[in-house]
Structure 1
Amino acid sequence: MASTAGSSSFSPYRVDGKLYGFVCVVTGASQPVGKAVVSELAAHGAACIYACTSSPTDEPIDDLTESLKTEHPNTKVIPYPYNTTSEEATLVLIDDILNQWGRLDIWVSSTGLLGPPSITSTSPKDLYAAFETNAMPAFFALKYAPAAMQKTTPKGNYANAAPKDMSYGSIIIVSSVAGTYGGCWGPAFTMSSHAALGVVRSGVAVLKGTGVRINAITAGQIDVGVDLKGAGIKEMEQGQFPPSSLQSEEVQKRAIGLERAGRPGEVGKVAGFLASGFSSYITGAEIRVDGGASVMNPLTVPV
């Protein structure tokens, strides 16, 4: 089903890629990549974005909300405290969205826990924590978001409103190239990233007949603004991606096709593509955002 920008009957497959009427969830929204995804969805014209964070008050997300209010006044960004590893919290969030908007269209799961850098420093508790943070949110998205995404609704009276007259949705799992290769940071990170990618691959058959797509973004070296001079191993273990400064500029030029680390906004743009009708025939895919590093040689991050 195709539509034009001026069509009165809304279809997700807009020729301009806009997300008018879309209600979105983005987890990890206070982190650099999550913030970039929120900004990109707003730029695509989403009606509402639930910017989910793990704490009730979060200064970075407050700053983002204020800036987007100016840049994209017709997109409502709602800061939302949400425990991504909780089944109950996931169901509550979806209920809140449906009660408020009557629809759900996009779910971006952007979570990450590096964990210890070596097997000797990895305990069973560390491994459980990595799976809980890196894979369980993807599982909850696959299990619970599609039923909400299949609901249709008439056009509302809010900004950027549009009717939803057919079932569709897009689940986007932001993970790491560690889901494909070993040697990227530590074993727990690699194992749990593989599990997140497994959710995407198993999700294609699960979602047959629903109109909902599921895809993964696997990122390589992304400059998330971590200054190694002020951070120790313990602080780095809490991050979503290994700090790009673990690789010197010389190593980046040698090992990465584009000769530099990526930027959070470059991951965000891929999320915008997967959310929009531009990717209408893409599901079960793993889109690598790594500057070509994994093609040149398996990505390794020294520790």
Structure 2
Amino acid sequence: MNTRLEGKIALVTGGTSGIGLASALELAREGAKVYITGRRQAELDAAVREIGHGVQGIRGDVTRDEDLDALMSRIRADEGRLDILLANAGGGSMLPLGEITAQHFDDTFARNVRAVVFTVQKALPLMQRGGSIVLTGSIAGSKGTPAFSIYSASKAAVRALARSWVLDLKERGIRVNVVSPGSTHTVGLAELGGASKEAQDGLLAYLTSLVPIGRLGTPGEIAKVVTFLASDDSSFINGAEIFADGGQAQI
């Protein structure tokens, strides 16, 4: 087992599936004590079993201030500090201009922007000098995508937050970076294609055709970038957006 993060305390929001789950597993393998959040208890319990390594699962919704307060209180009581934060929880759905609703807009920005702001803000009293904050962005924040404008705008906002937060936190010695995955083979990505397997397979095949490396990413590949940004190996990287996209946003 690698021990780059031995003795570190890490929090991964949205850690029950996809990139969040893979990141929590990778951080734990590197020696960190990891806390994960999820909204559904059964999925949270399954993730805790899969990750092992003493991971702690805390049920909660990051769009609810009271749940965030309870989460940070639990970490304070258990550990007294936090070294690594991956603000990963979020998501979105597809609606073209002309069909966008107020609820679609509000839900997307609540999950991807508001929750990120207050997760980070409420975690700050626990964070130590030398700590690392990693925000999950997306190449959608840099590229146009049909019927995905609100999600794209929310991820562009995440990128903008990181640029300003490095200035807010420079005296505290806490780094903030963004990892922006390209098309990554997760259940959530497939479900954007619709309910049927045929539609989902069609979307995945189309997205694969857009990636210069010729395939979709895996959650584990994104998790390795998260772990790099969480570790001292990236000690001079701050305010950056790291694309893990097989070249998809680079052409």
Q: TM-score, normalised by structure 2?
A: 0.89
Q: 1:286 to 1:92 in 2, by over 3 A?
A: same
Query: Looking at CA atoms only, which structure, 1 or 2, has the larger radius of gyration?
Result: 1
Which residue matches 2:205?
A: 248
Which residue matches 1:106?
A: 84
Which residue matches 1:18?
A: 4
- The alpha-carbon deviation at position 115 of structure 1 amounts to 2.4
Q: 1:181 to 1:30 in 2, by over 3 A?
A: same
Which residue matches 1:159?
A: none
Which residue matches 2:233?
A: 278
Alignment counterpart, residue 52 of structure 1, candidates 34, 37, 44: 37
What is the aligned residue count?
A: 246
Once the two structures are superposed, what CA deviation does each residue of 1:115-136 show, in whole Å capped at 9, x if it has no partner? 2331122112211111100111
- The alpha-carbon deviation at position 65 of structure 1 amounts to 2.2
Alignment counterpart, residue 180 of structure 1, candidates 142, 161, 164: 142
Once the two structures are superposed, what CA deviation does each residue of 1:136-190 show, in whole Å capped at 9, x if it has no partner? 122113322222113xxxxxxxxxxxxxxxx221111112111122226511111
CA contact (8 A) 2:141 2:156 kept: yes
Which residue matches 2:61?
A: 83
CA contact (8 A) 1:224 1:244 kept: no
CA contact (8 A) 1:223 1:264 kept: yes
Alignment counterpart, residue 23 of structure 2, candidates 37, 45, 57: 37
Gaps of at least 5 residues in structure 2 are: none
CA contact (8 A) 2:34 2:54 kept: yes
Aligned Cα root-mean-square deviation (Å): 2.3
CA contact (8 A) 2:228 2:234 kept: yes
C-alpha distance in structure 2 between counterparts of 1:193 and 1:229, whole Å: 17
Which residue matches 1:210?
A: 172
Alignment counterpart, residue 223 of structure 2, candidates 268, 274, 280: 268
- The alpha-carbon deviation at position 230 of structure 1 amounts to 9.3
Which residue matches 1:63?
A: 46
Q: TM-score, normalised by structure 1?
A: 0.75
Give me the identity figure in percent.
30
Once the two structures are superposed, what CA deviation does each residue of 1:39-82 show, in whole Å capped at 9, x if it has no partner? 10011111x21110012x123x433322433xxxxx32111112
**Structure with the higher fraction of residues in helix conformation:** 2
Gaps of at least 5 residues in structure 1 are: 1-15, 70-74, 151-166, 234-242, 297-303
Asked if 1:147 is matched to 2:125, the reply is yes
C-alpha distance in structure 1 between counterparts of 2:145 and 2:204, whole Å: 14
Q: 1:44 to 1:134 in 2, by over 3 A?
A: same
Which residue matches 1:133?
A: 111
